[in-house]
Amino acid sequence: MGAHREVPAGTGSGSDPGADEARHTLVRNIVARGGLADPAWRAAFEEVERHLFVPYYYVHGIGGYERLWGEDPDPVRRRRWLRGVYGDEALATRMRDGELVSSSSQPSLMALMLEALEIRDGHTVLEIGTGPGYNAALLSHRLGDAAVTTVDLDPEITDSARAHLAAAGYRPTVVTGDGARGCRQRAPYDRIIATCTLPSVPPAWPEQCTPGALILAPVATGLVLLEVRATAYGPRAEGHFLHTPAYFVPLRGASPLPEPIARPGGVPRRAIGDELFRFLLTLTAGRLDPHEALSLWEREGRPQRERYGVTVADGRQWAWLDDPEGPYTWPLGEGF
């Protein structure tokens, strides 16, 4: 479980009864839906206070975005803020020129991702996409500060995350830099987790892993879980997508994500409206004609995400259906 730490005055269990109750309710709801089966992760979600990491966030309002914050003099708006903080939803935490540049992920999705990594005591973890710092705090609670490194390109984001983490009593290593390059000075890592959407898996990540390490990254509109193996030609990272859809802010500094054709002629509306077909279109955008994608999708029985995978090896990277060496493979763009 997590290492013992001194929590600053004003934080920790019992500091805000309303927040405590809201947090415990959130955890109970995630558990009721089958999440947080690992007691260590349940303890982390019970004890790490999300409201310390999202002192304000933005919601859609009339004519644009509305800012909710915990120090609002209006008690009704403060209650709205707290209700949103401990709702099971992603929160827009930083906007720039009307564009979303940072967010706090949906808690149940965070729980699913952290449990999928099969983290054990003694593991070291690299997080790509620091955001407000909440996920890094959960990792630090589980493994201790020294085991956690988190990277973000934006100094405003990393400065803010350090402050949030310190207020909550956590001090992992927070690095301002290009997440696609990893963080070589802190390598090797037993686990890498990305909380931003990628066009492909940066080749630097497997190179900074221990043999047997796991990498979990959002690619297309899914989450791919790769295992890293050592070979005579260098590391090989390979694995399948998880079952769940996932939508994150894109990794800044990477090439733009390919856009699938919204409604190619001759492709039925029912297919375009199917989330799994759109996943295939996004995964193969620019590399597989949409009509060919439709034929494949129907011929293979509308495959679930778990049948798709990604391989990074020998300076190449490709996505595949069922078999990395099978008939259905598509190169993934470098993007970095």
Active-site positions read 102
The structure tokens listed for 7 are 């929590």
CA distance 120 to 217: 19
Whether residue 36 contacts residue 43, with contact meaning beta carbons closer than 8 Å, is answered with no
The structure tokens listed for 215 are 């990498």
Please provide the distance, in angstroms rounded to a whole number, between the alpha carbons at the two ends of the chain: 36
> Which residues are within 8 A (CB) of 2 and not within 5 positions of it... i.e. 6 or more apart?
40, 43, 44, 140, 141, 142, 143, 144
Q: What is the DSSP letter of 69?
A: E
Q: What is the DSSP letter of 226?
A: E
Q: Which element (helix H / strand E) includes 159?
A: helix 155-168
The structure tokens listed for 256 are 């733009």
Query: Pairing mode, if any, of strands 209-219 and 189-194?
Result: parallel
CA distance 89 to 109: 9
> Which residues are within 8 A (CB) of 213 and not within 5 positions of it... i.e. 6 or more apart?
188, 189, 190, 191, 192, 206, 227, 228
Whether residue 180 contacts residue 336, with contact meaning beta carbons closer than 8 Å, is answered with yes
Sheet holding 329-331, edge to edge: 173-176, 148-152, 125-128, 189-194, 209-219, 222-231, 234-245, 308-313, 316-321, 329-331
Strands annotated E in the chain: 56-61, 64-69, 91-96, 99-104, 125-128, 148-152, 173-176, 189-194, 209-219, 222-231, 234-245, 308-313, 316-321, 329-331
301 in helix, strand or coil? coil
